[in-house]
């Protein structure tokens, strides 16, 4: 997600001729593109083969892979006839249904329509839309499932089949047009619009009020893990432990919404032996492992002080740019997008992927990207953001870097390889997530707001092309 300290790409289309892009022909925005060449990817190399230039200059993919443009902000219409909102970010995929966040803070061109029963704050323009997708990847319909929220960035799926969408903000009522405080998590049902009426716009205040990024839910304990993308000081990694007797399921979190202090919200403190690790950036080598303790947040609604500022030096572990998160392999994978000494980080990097294991109460550095010396180079990686666990093994990262942006695969051994390249502009990739059958990877290019469905010969990656440092 676009954030402070990183090149802001939202203005890109205002500075380029691509601002008038309309990916449509024959009256349809469902564009199917094939790379210039086809064939089986090499079986002795990591990944799926070289990325082939796209004649439509949108998405370069390996041999045998194709994509379809499902929708475009401002060009495709929702079921009610209004334009698809701007800035699609994280996706939650439920079979063939895709719930999409719209990271809209203020003046983006196409806001989420405010509808009765679905709107939290009529002065806010963000929210979520929900699309149903046919087996071939084309869109059957799309509707508003939550409105009146701010900067809906990432989120996470629940074991009971709903989407938790997060506001990346600490804005209060009275800030501009806002009539209510923001910085909460909301639960969206992937069913029809009526299933969200009166329910999706209810904030889950017990999960805290801060610049939320992503969540992951432990299907065994129903504990919820949350990342915070904030600075001054840097953000925290949180865990919400449900109250005694809590049984997860659709409607369970909504049932707690009236209790802002339900369960326990705590921040992570990491230890290297008996020494507190003040900042995750100090880990330089994949395999670095720290013990974890959880420190309760005194005032999770941040009535007077931001949650991250309620802890003094030596109490918790911080990180710059805590971003995407996904549950898999019995734990939570989460991303630190980059770190710089100028923002208070202990060491500098251009991306870390961590794994929290609740069974051992440890976090382990799975892979690390060193400082990118040349963001314009196609083989360099910086700024991983959203993350998903691939059903074929390993991880997929959405790059939000300073130069060329990619979808990046990471093997269980921590080796990285390119899956796709944005050939349209320098906008970030967002929201990679697979369909229920594992055949289609949905992903967004945030500007100009493209949702893409990628299909091809998915399989476990092997070998080595280029790796992390």
Q: What is the pLDDT of residue 126?
A: 98
Reduce the DSSP state of residue 307 to 3 states and report it: helix
pLDDT in tens, 398-407: 999 888 999 9
- Is 340's pLDDT higher than 60? yes
pLDDT in tens, 88-118: 999 999 998 999 999 999 899 999 999 999 9
Q: What is the pLDDT of residue 376?
A: 82
pLDDT in tens, 375-390: 888 888 899 999 999 9
pLDDT tier at 6, thresholds 50, 70, 90: very low
Instruction: Report, at the CATH architecture level, how domain 12-455 is classified.
Output: 6 Propeller (2.120)
- Is 37's pLDDT higher than 90? no
Q: What is the pLDDT of residue 115?
A: 97
Q: What is the pLDDT of residue 26?
A: 26
Phi and psi at residue 73, in whole multiples of 5°? Answer: -55, 135
Separation CA 177–CA 99 (nearest Å):
26
Q: What is the pLDDT of residue 129?
A: 98
Say if residues 406 and 429 touch (Cβ distance below 8 Å).
yes
Q: What is the pLDDT of residue 413?
A: 84
Phi and psi at residue 20, in whole multiples of 5°? Answer: -95, 15
For residue 237, the cross-strand partners are 227
Strand ranges for 84-125 from DSSP E: 88-94, 97-102
pTM metric for this prediction: 0.91
Nearest alpha-carbon partner for 399 in 423, 381, 372 = 381
Q: What is the pLDDT of residue 308?
A: 98
Phi and psi at residue 26, in whole multiples of 5°? Answer: 50, 35
Separation CA 444–CA 74 (nearest Å):
14
Nearest alpha-carbon partner for 444 in 168, 92, 79 = 92
Rounded to an integer, the average pLDDT of 459-464 is: 69
pLDDT in tens, 122-166: 999 999 999 999 988 899 999 999 999 999 999 999 999 999 999
Q: What is the pLDDT of residue 1?
A: 58
pLDDT tier at 29, thresholds 50, 70, 90: very low
Q: For the chain, give the percent of residues with pLDDT over 90.
A: 82
Q: What is the pLDDT of residue 437?
A: 93
Q: What is the pLDDT of residue 461?
A: 81
Separation CA 336–CA 452 (nearest Å):
25
Q: What is the pLDDT of residue 175?
A: 96
Which of 14-49 are b and which e, b meaning 16 or more Cβ less than 10 Å from the residue's Cβ? eeeeeeebebeeeeebbbebebeeeeebbeeebbbb
- Is 232's pLDDT higher than 80? yes
Q: What is the pLDDT of residue 45?
A: 63
Q: How many CA within 13 A on the CB side of residue 305?
A: 10
- Is 30's pLDDT higher than 60? no
Reduce the DSSP state of residue 342 to 3 states and report it: helix
Phi and psi at residue 278, in whole multiples of 5°? Answer: -75, -25
- Is 21's pLDDT higher than 60? no
- Is 32's pLDDT higher than 60? no
pLDDT in tens, 174-191: 999 999 999 999 999 999
- Is 393's pLDDT higher than 50? yes
Separation CA 328–CA 251 (nearest Å):
23
Say if residues 216 and 332 touch (Cβ distance below 8 Å).
yes
Q: For the chain, give the percent of residues with pLDDT over 70.
A: 89
Q: What is the pLDDT of residue 46?
A: 82
């Amino acid at each position: 997600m676009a954030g402070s300290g990183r090149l802001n790409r939202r203005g890109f289309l205002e500075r380029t001729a691509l601002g008038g892009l309309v990916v449509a022909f024959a009256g349809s925005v469902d564009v199917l593109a094939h790379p210039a060449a086809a064939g089986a990817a090499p079986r002795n190399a990591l990944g799926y083969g070289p990325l082939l230039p796209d004649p439509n200059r949108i998405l370069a993919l390996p041999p045998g892979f194709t994509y379809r443009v499902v929708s475009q902000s401002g060009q495709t219409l929702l079921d009610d006839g209004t334009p698809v909102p701007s800035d699609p970010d994280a996706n939650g995929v439920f079979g063939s249904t895709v719930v999409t966040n719209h990271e809209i803070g203020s003046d983006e061109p196409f806001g989420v329509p405010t509808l009765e029963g679905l709107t939290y704050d009529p002065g806010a323009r963000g929210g979520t839309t929900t699309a149903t997708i046919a087996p071939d990847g084309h869109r059957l319909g799309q509707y508003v499932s939550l409105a009146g929220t701010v900067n809906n960035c990432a989120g996470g799926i629940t074991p009971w089949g709903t989407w938790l969408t997060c506001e990346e903000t600490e804005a209060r009522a009275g800030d501009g047009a806002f009539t209510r405080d923001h910085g909460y998590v909301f639960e969206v049902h992937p069913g029809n619009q009526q299933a969200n009426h009166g329910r999706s716009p209810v904030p889950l205040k017990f999960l805290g009020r801060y610049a939320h990024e992503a969540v992951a839910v432990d299907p065994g304990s129903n504990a919820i893990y949350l990342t915070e993308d904030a600075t001054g000081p840097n953000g925290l990694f949180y865990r919400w432990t449900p109250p005694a007797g809590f049984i997860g399921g659709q409607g369970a979190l909504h049932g707690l919404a009236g209790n802002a202090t339900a369960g326990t919200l705590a921040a992570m403190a990491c230890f290297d032996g008996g020494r507190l690790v003040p900042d995750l950036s100090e880990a330089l080598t994949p395999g670095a492992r720290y013990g974890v303790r959880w420190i309760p947040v005194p005032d999770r609604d941040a009535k007077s002080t931001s949650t991250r500022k309620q802890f003094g030096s030596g109490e918790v572990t911080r990180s710059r740019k805590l971003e995407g998160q996904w549950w898999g392999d019995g734990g939570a994978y989460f991303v630190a997008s980059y770190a710089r000494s100028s923002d208070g980080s202990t060491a500098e990097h251009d991306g870390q992927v961590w794994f929290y294991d609740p069974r051992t109460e440890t976090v382990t550095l799975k892979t690390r990207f060193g400082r990118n010396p040349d963001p314009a180079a196609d083989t360099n990686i910086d700024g991983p953001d959203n993350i998903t666990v691939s059903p074929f093994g390993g991880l997929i990262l959405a790059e939000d870097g300073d130069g060329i942006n990619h979808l990046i695969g990471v093997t269980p051994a921590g080796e990285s390889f390119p899956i796709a390249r944005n050939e349209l502009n320098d906008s970030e990739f967002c929201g990679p997530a697979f369909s229920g059958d594992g055949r289609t990877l949905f992903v967004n290019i945030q500007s100009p707001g493209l949702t893409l469905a990628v299909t091809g010969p998915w399989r476990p990656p092997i070998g080595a092309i280029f790796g992390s440092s």
